[in-house]
Amino acid sequence: QQQVKQSPQSLIVQKGGISIINCAYENTAFDYFPWYQQFPGKGPALLIAIRPDVSEKKEGRFTISFNKSAKQFSLHIMDSQPGDSATYFCAASNDNQGGKLIFGQGTELSVKP
């Protein structure tokens, strides 16, 4: 049973466009929702994270939108650049369960010049 479902599996966007990746979760006890970015040959690196007390968080071109009632959250990448091409993972965790991350399946983003 997959607790965090991520879509799409792959995404192709033109340079300057908006990339949108969606995630849905089941466990209402989750209280931390990070997004990780992974380049080939590297480990995942934290990109941006949100807690359920806010509905949106923005850092530069990256925005998380969070809908607690729908148990969904999404990553928006504005003005997408070729350098954003990577695999993106959403995740969720519960501080009371040691902080272990439950990941989505990942989205391979390709930004075409």
Partner 1 sequence: EAGVTQFPSHSVIEKGQTVTLRCDPISGHDNLYWYRRVMGKEIKFLLHFVKESKQDESGMPNNRFLAERTGGTYSTLKVQPAELEDSGVYFCASSYARGTQYFGPGTRLTVL
Size (the chain), residues? 113
Show Cβ contacts of residue 86 under 8 Å, excluding neighbours closer than 6 positions.
Answer: 37, 38, 39, 108, 109
Classify 113 as helix, strand or coil.
coil
Q: Smallest gap, in angstroms, from Cβ of residue 100 to partner 1?
A: 4
Q: Minimal distance in Å, beta carbon 35 to partner 1? A: 12
In the complex, least distance from residue 18 CB atom to partner 1, rounded to whole angstroms: 25
Q: What CA–CA distance (Å, rounded) separates 110 from 12?
A: 5
C-beta of 80 vs 89, nearer to partner 1: 89
Least Cβ distance, residue 103 to partner 1 (angstroms): 4
Contacts of 66-70 with CB under 8 Å at 24 or more apart are 66/33, 70/24
Closer to partner 1 at the Cβ: 81 or 87?
A: 87
User: Which CB, 60 or 100, lies closer to partner 1?
Assistant: 100
Contact set with partner 1 (CB under 8 A): 2, 4, 6, 34, 36, 41-46, 49, 89, 95, 97-106
